[in-house]
Chains A and B, each alone.
Chain A
């Protein structure tokens, strides 16, 4: 429900940060914590099978690795916002 701004990112816990940032902007509490449940144990299926429940115009976030390629539907992410995942050994959060 927060995804009123359709911005997305994929990220991974990095190492160093910016110097003491000023973070004075307000944080607006719209919904209680975990009202939008993150996906913690994502399961995947082959694209040709997923095709039955995906629309042609559905936006996806696609990861391309050395051995694997994975697509995450943003329509699905609209209801979860975050997928905690591991891609080719790297811990990542796919967020929307």
Chain B
């Protein structure tokens, strides 16, 4: 079943129908309820291995390739029903990381985040950052606050490694884990933010008033 071009799931206990895109019950006994989104890392296998070489992987059952390779590559094919892109802020198949906080939504185009390397924004009152620490690592998303303080970050390179530093306390933070490694915040932990990937047209279908993150334009030099 599909709802606004997105998968619909049912639960075996109450037969309620849930949207996969935003975890809402749209038909059935639990209508109006909301599933909690668990933050995850979205990476290629190679990027994931670079972060967690000793992790576990779901065992395959013969699924060696994706059946959607050509669909994923075709910029003109929007959804199974053949949609048109209703919002030209981005191309329909642009890959984004989407973040929803309460009724607010923000789309972060992956390409733009990779180019900028660090994206800082506020979504529904929640300060967040997305960071692309290196070309062999995935884009990671964190909340920009720790120990009840809102923080603003810059990205720098120390001994060949990307490190986050916050302006407010001058502490340094490990990019991969979100843990402060030096300064007065040492030991503090940034929570991961629950950003998840989508094609632009699909995200926009669910959240028509979504924002689109853009890199701040450089000021003209005088």
B94–chain A nearest beta-carbon distance, Å: 12
Q: Measured between alpha carbons, how far is A53 from B72 in the docked complex, in Å?
A: 21
A64 to chain B, nearest CB (A): 6
Q: Which of B24-32, B119-127, B155-163, B212-220 lines the interface with chain A?
A: B24-32
Residues in B whose Cβ lies below 8 Å from that of A71: 45, 48, 52, 55-58
Interface residues of B, dominant DSSP: mixed
- 8 A Cβ contacts from B1-52 to A: 1-10, 17, 20-27, 30-46, 48-49, 51-52
CA distance in complex: A27, B7 (Å): 10
Given A21, A28, A43, A63, which contacts B24 in the complex, CB threshold below 8 Å? Answer: A21
B residues in contact with A50, CB < 8 Å? 57, 59-60
Which residue on chain A has the smallest CB distance to residue B3? Answer: A27
With A29-B1, A69-B56 as known contacts, state yes or no: A55 contacts B34, CB within 8 Å.
no
Q: Which of B145-153, B180-188, B195-203 is near enough to bind chain A?
A: B195-203
Q: Does B196 lie within 8 Å of A54, measured CB to CB?
A: no
Q: Complex formed: what's the CA distance from A51 to B48 in Å?
A: 11
Scoring B35, B203, B205 by chain A CB atoms within 10 A of each residue's CB, the highest score goes to B35
| B residues less than 8 Å from A68 (CB atoms) | 55-56
Asked, given contacts A2-B7, A10-B38, A17-B34, whether A56 binds B192 with beta carbons under 8 Å apart, the answer is no
Would you call B63 an interface residue if the criterion is a C-beta within 8 Å of the partner chain's C-beta atoms? yes
A7-B20, A59-B43, A63-B38 known; A30-B1 Cβ under 8 A: yes
Tally of chain B residues near chain A (CB < 8 A) = 70
B89 at the interface (CB under 8 A from A): no
Taking a contact as CB atoms under 8 Å apart, the answer to whether A11 and B35 are in contact is yes
For A58-96 the 0/1 string (1 means CB < 8 A from B) is: 111111100011111111101101110000001011111
Q: Choose one: A6, A21, A47, A93; the contact of B32 (CB below 8 Å).
A: A21
In this assembly, does B211 line the interface, its C-beta being within 8 Å of a C-beta of chain A? Answer: no
Q: Judge whether B221 is part of the interface by a CB distance below 8 angstroms.
A: no
> Which residues on the B side are within 8 Å of A57 (C-beta)?
44-46
Which 7 residue pairs of A and B lie closest in terms of their CB atoms, listed nearest first?
A17-B33, A14-B36, A50-B57, A69-B55, A5-B202, A4-B80, A62-B41
* A/B interface sample: 23 pairs, CB < 8 A: A2-B1, A3-B68, A4-B2, A4-B68, A5-B21, A5-B79, A6-B68, A7-B199, A11-B35, A15-B36, A16-B33, A18-B24, A27-B1, A27-B8, A27-B27, A46-B54, A60-B48, A61-B42, A62-B41, A63-B40, A63-B41, A68-B55, A94-B40
Q: Add 19 more A-B contacts to A7-B6, A9-B22, A47-B57 (CB < 8 A).
A: A4-B5, A8-B198, A9-B196, A10-B40, A12-B36, A12-B38, A13-B36, A17-B34, A27-B17, A47-B53, A47-B55, A53-B60, A57-B46, A62-B42, A70-B57, A71-B48, A71-B57, A73-B58, A81-B9
Interface residues of A (CB under 8 A from B): 1-21, 23, 25-31, 33, 39, 42-48, 50-51, 53-64, 68-76, 78-79, 81-83, 90, 92-96
